[in-house]
Structure 1
Amino acid sequence: MSSKAQISKKDYERGLRIADRRKEMGLLQDELAHRVGIGRQALSAIENGGDFKVSVLRKIAVVLNCSTDELLYGVFSSINEEMQDNIMNELKRMSKDEIKKWLYMLRAVNDIS
């Protein structure tokens, strides 16, 4: 299976969501492209509905501080905030050592995917 997102045609709405989020954050295409590790032309193509690698989508979501679902499907909701609240509540209950262990595990999982 390809590591590229499975898109049968250009998804202009997805591209607009990415561009709108980038603009909300006050980033130029050059800035976002640099932070993601792609060229400005590649980002322009993505914002115009073009194909991309899943790894690029993940990096874009991280830089734009949102989920991949938000970018792909427009699922901008309080789910993200609710999840963050739940995570913060759990972290408050943990010791520093437990938090360090979870942080190492999260980084390891992120490196694998």
Structure 2
Amino acid sequence: MATIEECRSALDKLAGSLPHANGAVRGAAALDRTLSCHITDLDVTFTGRLTDGRIEVLDRVDGPPPERAEIRLAMTGDDLVAMVDGDLHFARAWGSGRVRLEAGFRDLLRLRSLL
């Protein structure tokens, strides 16, 4: 089971890769939205912001997200680490229910290029 530190490291790695993305991925990441990522097996939530093509992780709280972010993710720590490392494809994980993604309809349309 992934630790909180490994999950934070995975989020930092993902955040570091977005500014170097090209094309449709860069366009999808150009949203300005609040984010939450609930790590279900650790019952911890990372909150932050997607802005200017980057992810800024701002806080970590115990339990589910305290406020409703505009883009909400939920998954196990192992799945987060595997996705960021390229061992788990996001679209397959989302389609199988291993990852939950909730956002407004327009945001989902833009985010689909990240899948």
- Give me the TM-score of the superposition, normalised by structure 1: 0.29
Q: Of Structure 1 and Structure 2, which has the larger fraction of its residues in strand?
A: 2
Larger radius of gyration: 1
